[in-house]
Amino acid sequence: MSTTITRNKTVRDGKMWRMSQALKRDLPGVAAVAAVTVLGLWLGGRADLTNVPIAFLFVIAVVSMRFGYQAAILAAIASALCFDYFFLPPYGSLQITHSRDLLTDIAMLAVAVLVSTLNERLRREARSARLSERQAESLYSLVRELADAHSLDSLNIAGMRQIESAVAEVSARVLIRNGAEGFKCAFSSGGRVALETEDLEVANWAAVHLEPAGQGTRNLPLASACYVPLVAARGCVGVLALRSRVSDSMVVVRPSSLIQSMAQQLAMAIERALLSQEKHVAEIEAETERIRNAVLSSVSHDLRTPLTVITSASSTLVERGDRLQGTARAEMARLIHDEAERLSELLKSLLDLTRLQSGALSVNRDWESLEEVVASALRRVDERTGPGTRQLRAHVPNDLPLLQLDAILIEQVLMNLIDNALTYSRTDFPVEISIAARGDRDVLVSVIDRGRGIPSDDLRRIFDKFYRSDNTAGQGLGLGLTLARGIVEAHGGKIWATETPGGGLTVQFTLPITGTAPGLLEPEPSEKGTQPWAM
Amino acid sequence: MGDVAGGPCVLVVEDDRKILSVLSTTLETDGYRVVGANTGQRAIEEVRTRNPDIILLDLGLPDIDGLALVPAIRVHSTAPIIVVSARGGDPDKVKALDAGANDYLTKPFSVPELLARIRVAIRSHAQVGDAPRTIVSFGAYRLDLEGRTLVRGEDHVRLSATEFKLLATLARHPDEVVTTRALLKEAWGSAHYGKSGYVRVYMHSLRQKLESDPTRPQYLINEAGLGYRLRTRTSE
């Protein structure tokens, strides 16, 4: 019931609206004709008939220019009638006595038609020129925006914003469709939105038939929005839903040529984005596969070597421990211990790297002192190698600001770099760790060794997984530097390697200085037990 | 098998039988009595009935979260607890220390390290048991907790109030890890949780005053992600 009432009401409202529109258009012309008639009579137009038709023609020309074809014809008919009635004898009647007067009337009508037709054509051409200029502008800015967008999300949001600014009083949404699975997500100019069930049915029709549907079309015209399929080379990638912002049901959104062109551009952009997404996924899969193979071959070698040592040494101890001399027994035990430690480090690196890459290794940033992190890394290296066996020198400036970092992870980076440096450096040279703040931008950490170095072509590759230089016939998976790179990058820093002047390898990394670190908050030194926080 | 009757009693809470067996052999060789518990439930029973001198607690247990076990043990015993965790950056370690554990070890650990930690824990527990220490010495330094002074040899070392509080907090638990959170609470009050930057800043100035090489500290040892330790014994 309620729906019929509303419909009747809107239909009535629509009629009223149309009538008022017609009145607005036609009334001025008729009024102008009336005015000319009065003026003509007052100025004695009946005595000299030559000027009156010219005045009427002038009015008709103006009306046609200003109010269009229909108003001009109406004005012409009114003019002819007024001319007959008021100016041609017998006055007060429409009778025409002279054939000359009939000719004047016909000429007046003919001129009216001619002038208004010309005017109408001019106006149409001007309007279409303006329209196509605006459409070209809208399309151009859409294409530009779409080219700038990097993700499916940003692309669709930018697209909806452009369409809404190009088509007045319309809210636009795009429903993204995945061939087999149907619609999977929707975007408005404000961002990702939920899929509305009222959209799905008609949108689906449009997607299946590859034709506009809904409001303003021949297909399912009673829908509340106009649905334009986004057709790309691979088929329908989505549907554009346009809904009028005006609540008046007489205002209908139609799939204009502009909308269709925009839909086409959007379809191409979405397809490009989907393709690059799929390519990215494929690349990741290929990379994962490559890593898996590398891990397998590397793990089988690097894990088996220590395991072989452990198994053989321990079985020797178990089987004939009592027959071995004391030193030999101790040597076996030491071998087992060393190789077990090597295995343990290896597994830890492997685990950390996997966790870092899968995102499971979280970076817990806090205000930390790099001096402490360096100290703790040095202590742990000492614990492992025995204190003082190798020379390690650290230069940490006194006024280094606190940094937001994960102390455990950065300690790991330092340990990996120091381990590397110790492994490849000449034993008679110290390994140096040097830290310097570069303005208030970042802090540069350098780990410098004086070993054989690495061929300059390989300097970039040493951070790649399982890379090992020919110069470094060492042990362990080539994971330490990869892990270091992952951690530094997770902190927003960079890591790179250069040649140490005079030979050797220098690995440097940066850690950005972010925010304001807490500073000393009390006067130094205060003798008495004052409470700095109570002041 | 050592002196089974007389040595200090170590309760080892560990669900892996092999690790338990290795630890038992090692500790017994060193003169400790070892009681094993492979579940949290057993651990609490053993704490109640045997009254161990020290507890070695693995955080990964099958029945009870190791973390929840710390306060449960504390109900019955004040014996030092050393938590053992499998991961270096385990946040549970900090929680366990804040909940009342005295120290931690990360798997895999070396036997000398384990023995050193056990010795330190038993010794400092015994000292706490006697009378609160007022003088703590480390290297050439003597810290007087009551007189609020720090002396190096003959010289008086000037410390700010906050520096003194931090140092005193560490000195009350010599050679044990004190978490950053505990230090914050002690020096600034619990309203300042999360502002670990304060602790870093003051520890830095303490190191500048006490250590000859702040990148190779002898006394104020930082444990990344955990807290600090005041080392009073240099070779353990």
Residue range A327-355, pLDDT digits in tens: 888 888 888 988 888 788 778 777 777 77
Average predicted confidence (pLDDT) for chain A: 81
Distances (CA, A) of A328 to A262, A310, A325, A364, B111: 83, 15, 5, 47, 21
Cis amide linkage into residue A90, ω under 30° from 0: yes
Task: Tell me the shortest Cα–Cα distance from A410 to chain B, in angstroms.
Answer: 9
Provide the terminal-to-terminal Cα distance of chain A, rounded to the nearest Å. Answer: 76
Evaluate whether ipTM surpasses 0.90: no
B111 touches A: beta carbon within 8 Å: no
Distances (CA, A) of A189 to A141, A164, A263, B109, B192: 15, 8, 15, 58, 43
Residue A525: the pLDDT is 44
With an 8 Å Cβ cutoff, the interface of chain A facing chain B consists of 340-341, 344, 348, 364, 366-369, 371-376, 378-379, 394, 396, 398, 402, 406-409, 411-412, 517-533
Q: Check CB contact under 8 Å for A371 and B214.
A: yes
Q: Check CB contact under 8 Å for B224 and A408.
A: yes
Amino acid at site A462: I
Residue A401: the pLDDT is 86
Residue A360: the pLDDT is 65
Residue carrying structure tokens 């452009």: A162
Does A532 score more than 60 pLDDT? no
Does A229 score more than 90 pLDDT? yes
Highest mean pLDDT among A56-65, A526-535, B91-100, B198-207: B198-207
Contacts of A207 (CB under 8 A, 6+ apart): A177, A229, A236, A238, A239
Task: Tell me the shortest Cα–Cα distance from B149 to chain A, in angstroms.
Answer: 10
pLDDT in tens, A385-405: 776 667 888 899 988 888 888
Q: Where are the alpha helices (DSSP H) in A179-256?
A: 197-209
Contacts of A26 (CB under 8 A, 6+ apart): A67, A70, A71, A74
B19 touches A: beta carbon within 8 Å: no
Q: Check CB contact under 8 Å for B161 and A411.
A: no
Chain A positions touching B208 (Cβ under 8 A) are: 398
Q: Which domains does chain A have, with CATH numbers?
A: 15-132 (no CATH), 149-279 (3.30.450.40), 366-512 (3.30.565.10)
Does A474 score more than 90 pLDDT? no
pLDDT in tens, A84-128: 888 887 788 777 777 777 887 788 788 878 888 888 888 888 888
Does A526 score more than 90 pLDDT? no
Task: Tell me the shortest Cα–Cα distance from A314 to chain B, in angstroms.
Answer: 15
Provide the strand spans (E) within chain B.
9-13, 33-37, 54-58, 81-85, 103-106, 135-138, 141-144, 149-152, 155-157, 177-179, 220-223, 227-230
Task: Tell me the shortest Cα–Cα distance from B53 to chain A, in angstroms.
Answer: 28
Among B110, B162, B180, most A C-beta atoms within 10 A, so best to mutate, is B162
Closest CA to A76 of A37, A109, A49: A109
* A440 neighbors A513 (Cβ within 8 angstroms): yes
Does A470 score more than 70 pLDDT? no
Residue of B nearest to A523 (CA): B160
Task: Tell me the shortest Cα–Cα distance from A310 to chain B, in angstroms.
Answer: 16
CA distance A335 to A314: 9
Does A254 score more than 50 pLDDT? yes
Residue A241: the pLDDT is 92
User: Where do the CATH 3.40.50.2300 domains begin and end in chain B?
Assistant: 9-130
How much is the pTM? 0.55
The superfamily CATH assigns to domain B9-130 is Response regulator (3.40.50.2300)
**pLDDT above 70: percentage of residues in chain B:** 90
CA distance A498 to B178: 40
Average the pLDDT over B30-53 and give the result: 91
Does B132 score more than 80 pLDDT? no
CA distance A211 to A227: 9
Average the pLDDT over B59-84 and give the result: 87
Q: Check CB contact under 8 Å for B221 and A532.
A: no
Residue of A nearest to B202 (CA): A520
CA distance B63 to B41: 8
Does B57 score more than 80 pLDDT? yes
Does A528 score more than 70 pLDDT? no
Quickly name the fold that domain B135-230 has: Arc Repressor Mutant, subunit A (1.10.10)
Average the pLDDT over B194-210 and give the result: 86
| Both structure tokens of A298 | 């590397």
| Both structure tokens of B183 | 């230090």
